[in-house]
A and B are shown apart, each in its own frame.
Chain A
Amino acid sequence: MNRLTAAALLLIASALPTAAQSWPDRPVKLIVPFGAGGSADTLARVVAEHLSATFKQQFVVENRTGAGGAIGAAAIAAAAPDGTTIGITNLSILALVPAINPAVTYHPIDGFTHIAYLAGAPVALSATSQSSIKTLKDFIDTGKKSDKPLTFASSGVGSDGHLMGVAISLATGVPLEHVPYRSTSQAMTDVVAGHVTLSTFTLSSSAQFLRGGQFNGLALTSPERMPDQPEIPTFKELGYPALVGTTWFSLSGPPKLSAEIADKLNAEVTRIVTLPEVQSRFRRDGFITQPMSAAAFTKYVGDEVARWKPLVEQAGLAGKGG
């Protein structure tokens, strides 16, 4: 074997797919299926910064927006499983959009390698302070007596807030009329002014209005009361155990990603989300963390898909977004 062949072989060998042991030897792309500046984007940037520091390799955030996150999610699912592309997924992308829109090209469970649960945001059922509704009991009494259904605002048809509203309506037996909005801020303006009675936005979106007294917090969907809003009860303690659930954000990769890479990432993300500075940030933003292994999180996704499907059907949305 002459030197030229040796050099060529060496070249070929170095071009072979990355072995998991040496991962990451190239920059990793972190796809965010939502716009810059939103919750998903902020989370992604926090995680990317810490991952870059730990693995001594750049984790580059790339926003691939569109179709309620379906475009970015499809890009994650279609990437090569070599560990150079991962992305942010969430409740909506995995459990809601596929149930609503049969045309999505990815499967919520088999279409990905689910890596880790990042953070969840509980929904705060709140009423405008212009109304006399101050507690969940007021809400049920008023709602059942009213000749017109009470209205609730959310960030759009098929959004987590919309379906949470449907779930609340089903569990409490109070008829509700959904008023969708394109922008959270416009929705909040209308609830503050009393044009819409209720809000099912996340606690993070509602917190400033709860603090400012423009919203009355009725109940939270978190498993326990939140440290910064100790006065707001949970649905669970008020006797509605079915209304426990959060909108959540997670880290996923393309299918057939090596278990070794997924576990490495899972361990690191679990460490990152429990760092004191990240925790204090999460607390301020109304996020809660639930560390779980990659396998446990994959099961969690399956449970959530099964849980929300009937609600999507109940809301008359199944197969709508074609």
Chain B
Amino acid sequence: MDFLANLQIGFGVALTVQNLLYCFAGVLLGTVVGVLPGIGPVTTVAMLLPISFTLDPISEMIMLAGIYYGAQYGGSTTAILVNIPGEASSVVTTIDGHQMARQGRAGPALGIAAIGSFFAGSVATLTICIAAPPLAAIALNFGPAEYFSLMVCGLIAAVVLARGSVLKAIGIVVLGLLLGIAGTDVNSGVRRFTFGLTGLADGIEFVALSMAIYGIAECAINLEKKDEQAEVTRAIGRVWPTWADIRHCTPAILRGTVLGSLLGVLPGGGALLAAFGAYTLEKKVARPPRTFGNGDIRGVAAPESANNAGAQTSFIPMLTLGIPSNPTMAMMIGALMIHGISPGPRVMTERPELFWGLIASMWIGNLMLVILNLPLVGMWVKLLRIPYRLLFPAIVGFCCIGAYATNSNATDLFVMAFFSVFGYLCLKLECEPAPLILGFVLGPLMEENLRRSLLMSRGDPMVLIQEPISLTFLIAAVLLLLVVAAPAIQKKRDEALQE
């Protein structure tokens, strides 16, 4: 069976000493940044992008992926013990998780979070194995018209699912699209939005932009927050939950895994949406529902399973279609591009070792994470004592070195400085920057595909609705827009996202 042969390739790659080390480095780093509030996987991946040049692309992807799903484990530790989400995707875990800790059940809460995450991670890995090849096979027949419509649909989904005001999200997406098309136009060779600067002839450097927003601006915002005197729960107790706990949580873990896997694939989805969705669902369907908010272990199990499943399945659209569903995936695409690999349906056939090696590494990484997180949890808690006056200057320093090292181009530093200020203002104005990054990556792709499909149809825009797949995506996009516009549904959305 192909499936087994593929897994064999994958484990063959992932189990080499070098890749095991990178996988371990990734999940370790992921756990650390997961535990630390204020620095997340996106910041970390952004800072590590410039290292891409020196690493083998497979090891690089294995490490970056490890950071992303590793942070989902680490984030729950802080959420449960300190009542501060280490990651945005652990926000809902604080609700019941910290209550459990106050009742002296911190150990089981941490335990169930790790067990749920591991189960969900394993299922998500299998889901990628099964779902990705047929999806890539379909995607191989996608022409420019189909790609354009798919991206329109994806961007609109990203807007609909963004937190906060829809209007702001639309504004930010459009700005991202415009920033993305700066530089030399691929169809005519004309330079756009470069202000005559040679340094901008190739557009705005993605590494500089993402480090500005997720590295420097995030740090600045975090500095403003008063040092919240974290009340760290000292007594963790027995980590392994009782059989009764596990039996009680099994349906929650299953539901969280399925919902998380589905929401992860959506454009605009990923770990964050998965965790929110799963908690909301659990509150609705679990019996008895009363205990939620008062330390219900299912309120930890469901979102923690879901965020890990979502983190992993969000690799599906990135690996098969070359379309990022969240900023971390956008950065993965950036990293692959640095190696001259353009993500898309071809990767699976041309670089099977990369594709399957990455997937196999995810399962290995999940196993490492369980070991890292359960017995060593006391060590991670100590991390919370690192003063930010040391951490943040280090981040800013890394960002500056990284932005310059990418192209040895001083313009990139100015670009980063400019967007640091810009990103800070955005965050101040409560504009979620995720749609900006998605728009920035998708903008040039959308434009290229639209113009290419028009070139091929000799300028006839009807081609976009004559192709059935393309038409389907466009209809889906319109439906999504209607959903946002409908007031009743909008209220629901706000409720769901505000929890």
Contacts and interface: CB of A to CB of B under 8 A. Distances in A.
Contacts of B201: 66-68, 70-71
Interface in A97-152: 100-101, 148, 151
Contacts of A148: 458
A148 B459 CA distance: 12
A227 interface: no
Nearest to A186: B342
A153 to B, nearest CB: 9
How many chain A residues sit at the interface, stated as a range, is 35 or more
Contact of B186 (A65, A156, A184): A156
Contact of B140 (A62, A71, A189): A189
A186 to B, nearest CB: 6
Q: Which of A62, A64, A321 has the most CB of B within 10 A?
A: A321
Interface in B318-373: 337-342, 344-346, 350
Nearest to A322: B191
B475 interface: no
B186 A182 contact: yes
B409 interface: yes
B53 interface: yes
Interface string B130-170: 00000000001111100000000000000000000000000
Interface string B163-203: 00000000000000000000011111111000000110110
B242 interface: no
A190 B144 contact: yes
Contact of A321 (B189, B444, B458): B189
A213 B345 CA distance: 18
Nearest to A39: B340
Interface string A282-322: 00000000000000000000000000000000000100111
A35 interface: yes
B401 interface: no
Contact of A193 (B143, B198, B409): B143
A269 B140 CA distance: 42
A36 interface: yes
Interface in A176-225: 177, 179-186, 188-190, 192-193, 195-196
Nearest to B407: A65
B263 to A, nearest CB: 28
A37 interface: yes
B407 A158 contact: no
A179 B449 CA distance: 10
Contact of A189 (B202, B345, B409, B456): B345
B53 A36 contact: yes
A66 B407 contact: yes
Contacts of B337: 183
Interface in B407-456: 407-409, 444, 448, 452, 455-456
B190 A320 contact: yes
A193 B186 contact: no
B188 A157 contact: yes
A321 B191 contact: yes
Q: Majority SS of interface residues in chain B?
A: loop
B191 A151 contact: no
Contact of A68 (B184, B341, B409): B184
Contacts of B144: 190, 195
A182 B186 CA distance: 7
A180 B144 CA distance: 12
Nearest to A148: B458
A230 interface: no
Contact of B456 (A101, A184, A196): A196
Nearest to A153: B452
Contacts of B409: 64-66, 71
Contact of A62 (B408, B448, B452): B408
A166 B143 CA distance: 24
A17 interface: no
Contacts of B452: 179-181, 190
Contacts of A36: 53, 338-340
B288 to A, nearest CB: 53
A29 B458 CA distance: 48
Contacts of B202: 65-67
B434 to A, nearest CB: 24
A28 to B, nearest CB: 17
Q: Which of B191, B338, B407, B452 has the most CB of A within 10 A?
A: B452
Contacts of A71: 198-199, 201, 409
A156 B458 CA distance: 18
Nearest to A155: B186
Contacts of B346: 185, 188-189
Contacts of A156: 186, 189
Nearest to A151: B456
Contacts of B188: 157, 320
Nearest to B343: A185
A276 interface: no
A239 interface: no
Contact of B187 (A64, A180, A190, A321): A180
A179 B342 CA distance: 18
B344 A186 contact: yes
Given A179-B452, A180-B187, 8 more contacts: A63-B407, A64-B408, A70-B198, A157-B185, A179-B455, A184-B342, A193-B141, A321-B190
The 5 closest A-B pairs by CB, nearest first: A67-B201, A195-B143, A37-B340, A183-B342, A157-B189
Interface of B: 53, 140-144, 184-191, 198-199, 201-202, 337-342, 344-346, 350, 407-409, 444, 448, 452, 455-456, 458
28 contacts: A35-B340, A36-B53, A36-B338, A37-B339, A37-B340, A62-B408, A63-B408, A64-B409, A65-B202, A65-B409, A66-B199, A66-B201, A67-B201, A71-B199, A148-B458, A151-B455, A156-B186, A158-B189, A177-B455, A179-B456, A181-B448, A182-B186, A184-B342, A192-B140, A193-B140, A320-B190, A321-B189, A322-B191
